[in-house]
Structure 1
Amino acid sequence: MSRSPVRVFRPWLGAFALVLLPLAGNQAGAAPRTVYAGTLQGAGEVVMELEAAQDGTLTGRYFYPKQGVDIPLKGTPAALYEPKPYYERKEAGLDPDEDAPAGRAAAWQGARDADGYRGQWVDARTGKRRSFQLRRVAEYDPDALAPDSVRAVTDAISGGMGSGIAFDVSIDAERAPYETRKLAGYAVPAGPDIGTPTLAYRMWRDPRTKFSYPRLSRHPDAKVLERVNGLLEQRHWQMSLAALACKASAYTDDNPAAGTLGSYDEEEIKVDWLSSALMTVSESGSLYCGGAHPNNHFEPYTFDLLRGEYLDWNHVFDAYESDGNGFRTESATLLEVVNAARNALASTDATGAADGESLEGCVDLWPSFLALGAEAPGMLSLSVSGVGHAMGVCLGTHAVVPFKDLAPYLKPGGEAYLVVD
């Protein structure tokens, strides 16, 4: 998946499986996981994932689609056990990190074969039994989904939860069959079309995670609309998985946010700019589901609506160049644009944030924490993004450059991106 070259990777995705659940990957030589789907009598549809260890034990998880929250499983082929919530085990005087019989909520007793898994679910509190019939629907390699270890360590410090899936991996039925069954088909339109008769977007909302994310509803090029909506959906899905992972942590953690949506339901997601050539979507808020501190963030994403991909700003002007080590760094042209904006701010009163904290010095974080975007009525936005917790007050847009002022820097064809429809 093509990514914006100005992206500062968010620090809150990916820790879930690496820190809390054995199922979400990055384990050396992890066995393939088998996915089952079917019905539990009286409870409806369930989706389950199981992984077998060399000693014959099984670990896994399952969810009810109406909730989308993973419930851990551990045991043997004859009986898999699901735990009571972490706080219940702790309040009962049990070691919540151990699998004690008194800490079990239910048992799945059955048999597996090449076709599926069937048997009885037994409520540990009441002894009530329900039959289940699950069919085998997929098998996949968890290592192919895992985020890198650097991001996982960062996640454990800030935010604490994540999707467990790397950003460059598409969440689809082949690569991530368990997660795709959790997400596909649940988001629905949550507002009117915003735009013109030929160009518009609409917010979509998954009622389980309670936040909305945009999709294009009209664009002159149907293929571009389809490709960009695929990217927007992937962003929505990554965030939804992280929110649902926080709810699932009620079984594995007792931090104050465990069992909540991790404040994703308070996330502010805006379309800052939409033209037939560009779309900028910004994500901002304060996410928390464990870790040393909340993930205060502001992150703009710009999509190329001429090509149907994340925007490479070098299509507009010479913004980035190779540093000789395989990475991109800011070009002299971009630094000239940034310095001009910084000097303009210096000549005005750029201090005094809304909460009373000074913003003086925030622009000195450029270019290390610079993110580009576009916003109305047709301007390049220069923002601080990806900065550490201590400098969180600086997050956001601090300067704008009218499209017309970029004319001296444009590459051939670059003007096509700066249209104002």
Structure 2
Amino acid sequence: MSVRNLPPLVGALVFVVAAAQAEPVTYAGKIGSADIVVEFTSDPSASDGPLAGRYFYRSQGVDIPLQARPRKGRRFELAQEEVCGAEQCGNGQAAPVAAIWRLASADKGKTLEGTWNGKKTRPVKLTRISAREQTQTPASRPFDLHDFTETKFFGDDAPITMEASPYDYLRLDFAPKVGNKAGWPDASYSYVVDPRTKFAMPRIVELSGETSAEAANALLQNRHWHASLDALNCAALRYAGFYEGSPVATTDDGTLGGYEDSTSEVTSLTPQLMSWRESGSLFCGGAYPNNFSAAYTMDIRRGALLGLQDMFTDTVNGKPGPSLIAFVDKRRKKRTEPTDAGFEAECGTDELIGEYLAASVKRDGDTQRLVFGLQSLPHAIQVCGGDFLELPAADASALLKPEFARLLGQL
């Protein structure tokens, strides 16, 4: 679904959710001519108490806090925060107000109308989209809404849907820029970019035969959406209202946390199997940046990631077993120069293989090659990671699980 099709979506969804049973509530509409999406802490048509909220401009996607103000019947106000990081608001100071929203509900809460009063005054008109289930602790502040997103969608698995969070779904359902098609005669892909978060991730374009790319592209989109959401959440931390306490220096600069410079590279694609590598350096608070370079392999038909245990017969609890360790260790190129040998000894590469071995696939013409390396290492020894062995998949045929061998074209 494209963001450009929002008006029909609005009409279709206004009546889907049972009235006032689940909250917070999401509305979509405009400030002046700018498209926005707003989430309120409770239903404006059903609540007698103060309302708080958050909103984003579709062209930007970054949360902006809306603090509660006293309300009078169906009319209510919100105070939109100005940017205020640790330097100005680090000791509990209230953030300055950028604008006052004055709204009134109509048509039993299906629409909200009013004004946005900042440096200029602009009309606001919003249409109810949907509500989501309340969290265990009811939301009362912009922080609670922002924290819901971070908690609900932490990691790469939870699907971002209209049912789970209409606000976040509409934030991410943004028309991407699509790059040129690349790949092989029987399987092609392109990279797509959300222009607001700037980094590219792949989508499958065409596959020969009867294999559908639908499940695989759903997984790729979900990973892309999660990364974009993390980037946008990081950028929102320039607002004091999205902290439990005071803003923290180094997390309040409004950047995308390094996501904009992260990369994704497809290394293999066939009608059965896909491998790609994601790399970058991310920082949105904490003791140190998250430097990462991780390879992924996917069964295209199922749209499922494959771990070491899905590829090789000799694994124990997802770790390599003795024969797989011996196979890799015998064939890998070991560092012999004194400096390199010392580095390898200090890393303890032989021991790390038993704990952090990973495998992916590289396509060379019509040949599939297995690539082995170390990934997901602790921060203190990340420098010890990387690939150290590449060989034709046929050379490891005795160790392959039958289904993985079929996906590789070895059966």
Q: How would you bin the TM-score normalised by the shorter chain?
A: 0.7 to 0.9
Using a 3 Å threshold, how does the CA distance of structure 1 residues 414 and 195 change in structure 2: closer, same or farther?
A: same
Q: Distance in 2 between matches of 1:286 and 1:162?
A: 19
Aligned residues of 2:62 and 2:232 also touching (Cα < 8 A): yes
Matches within 5 A, 1:264-343: 264-311=259-306, 314-321=309-316, 328-330=317-319, 332=321, 335-343=322-330
Aligned residues of 2:211 and 2:271 also touching (Cα < 8 A): no
Amino acid at match of 2:101: W
- Aligned match of 2:9: none
> What secondary structure is seen at the aligned counterpart in 2 of 1:213?
strand
Matches within 5 A, 1:195-210: 195-210=183-198
Using a 3 Å threshold, how does the CA distance of structure 1 residues 297 and 411 change in structure 2: closer, same or farther?
A: closer
- Aligned match of 2:102: 109
- Aligned match of 1:374: 361
Tell me the CA shift for residue 357 of structure 1: 9.8
Matched, 1:86 2:79: no
Matched, 1:262 2:257: yes
Tell me the CA shift for residue 70 of structure 1: 0.7
> What secondary structure is seen at the aligned counterpart in 2 of 1:261?
coil
Aligned residues of 1:86 and 1:96 also touching (Cα < 8 A): no
Unpaired segments of 5 or more residues in structure 1? 1-30, 145-155, 322-327
- Aligned match of 1:228: 216
Give TM-score, length-normalised by structure 2: 0.77
- Aligned match of 1:358: 343
Amino acid at match of 2:299: D
Aligned residues of 1:244 and 1:261 also touching (Cα < 8 A): yes
Matched, 1:398 2:398: no
Tell me the CA shift for residue 319 of structure 1: 4.8
Aligned residues of 1:341 and 1:401 also touching (Cα < 8 A): no
The superposition leaves residues 148-170 of structure 1 with CA deviations (integer Å, 9 ceiling, x where unpaired) of: xxxxxxxx9xxxx9685143321
Aligned residues of 1:357 and 1:393 also touching (Cα < 8 A): no
Correspondent of 2:405 among 382, 392, 415: 415
> What secondary structure is seen at the aligned counterpart in 1 of 2:163?
coil
Q: Distance in 2 between matches of 1:247 and 1:370?
A: 34
Using a 3 Å threshold, how does the CA distance of structure 1 residues 351 and 182 change in structure 2: closer, same or farther?
A: farther
Aligned residues of 1:33 and 1:49 also touching (Cα < 8 A): yes
> What secondary structure is seen at the aligned counterpart in 2 of 1:85?
coil
> What secondary structure is seen at the aligned counterpart in 2 of 1:296?
strand
Q: How many residues align?
A: 355
Aligned residues of 1:163 and 1:242 also touching (Cα < 8 A): no
Tell me the CA shift for residue 416 of structure 1: 1.4
Correspondent of 2:161 among 166, 169, 172: 172
> What secondary structure is seen at the aligned counterpart in 2 of 1:57?
coil
Tell me the CA shift for residue 75 of structure 1: 0.3
- Aligned match of 2:13: none
Matches within 5 A, 1:181-220: 181-190=170-179, 192-220=180-208
Tell me whether 308-317 or 285-294 shows the greater mean CA deviation. Answer: 308-317
Using a 3 Å threshold, how does the CA distance of structure 1 residues 97 and 135 change in structure 2: closer, same or farther?
A: farther
Q: Which has the higher contact order (CA 8 A, sep 6+)?
A: 1
Q: Distance in 1 between matches of 2:291 and 2:348?
A: 15
Q: Distance in 2 between matches of 1:381 and 1:97?
A: 52
Aligned residues of 1:37 and 1:136 also touching (Cα < 8 A): yes
Identical-pair percentage: 30
Amino acid at match of 1:56: G
Amino acid at match of 2:31: L
Q: Distance in 2 between matches of 1:67 and 1:357?
A: 49
Using a 3 Å threshold, how does the CA distance of structure 1 residues 347 and 208 change in structure 2: closer, same or farther?
A: closer
Q: Distance in 1 between matches of 2:380 and 2:306?
A: 30
Aligned residues of 2:267 and 2:363 also touching (Cα < 8 A): yes
- Give me the CA root mean square deviation: 3.1
Unpaired segments of 5 or more residues in structure 2? 1-21, 137-146, 241-246
Tell me the CA shift for residue 129 of structure 1: 2.0
Matched, 1:70 2:63: yes
The superposition leaves residues 169-188 of structure 1 with CA deviations (integer Å, 9 ceiling, x where unpaired) of: 21122222111111113212
Using a 3 Å threshold, how does the CA distance of structure 1 residues 236 and 183 change in structure 2: closer, same or farther?
A: same
Give TM-score, length-normalised by structure 1: 0.75
The superposition leaves residues 354-399 of structure 1 with CA deviations (integer Å, 9 ceiling, x where unpaired) of: xx99354353322322322112432222222222221121232222
Matches within 5 A, 1:7-86: 32-42=23-33, 44-52=34-42, 56-76=49-69, 77=71, 78-86=76-84
- Aligned match of 1:136: 128
